[in-house]
Every structure is written in C-alpha cells, then in structure tokens.
Amino acid sequence: MSGVLFAEATGTWPYVAAAWVVVFGSMGAYALVTVVRGRRLSKKVPPEKRRWS
C-alpha cells in the first residue's frame, strides 16, 4: 500500500534517478579502478617502457 502511494506521489522520477546514478556511478567506479591499477603497475615498469611518456 505504501509502495503504491509512493509511486503515485513520485511518478517515474525514482527510476530516472536510479538509471542516472547507475550510469554515472559505474563509469566513475570503473575509471577510478583503472587509474589506481595504472598507478600501481607504473611503479613496477621502467619509464622507457611507458610509451605514452
């Protein structure tokens, strides 16, 4: 009952918010994990083998 009342009061906004949070959260988390892995691995590789330097 309370769920139905909540859905009627808020409409589709909870689904919109959830979708945007999932997209931005996942992209941010993946980017962070990739950068951290890159930093950790860069310490183990000599600069001349990091070809983007």
Q: Is 38 helix (H, G, I), strand (E, B) or coil?
A: helix
Number of residues that make up the chain: 53
Residues 39 and 20: their CA atoms lie apart, in Å, by 28
Sole binder of other proteins in the list 3, 8, 9, 48 (CB under 8 A): 48
Tokens of 39: 């930093």
Q: Is 6 in the site for other proteins (CB under 8 A)?
A: no
> Can you tell me which of 2, 5, 9, 51 binds other proteins, judged by CB under 8 A?
51
Judged by the rule CB under 8 A, the positions of this chain that interact with other proteins are 11-13, 15-16, 18-20, 22-24, 26-27, 30-31, 34-35, 37-39, 41-53
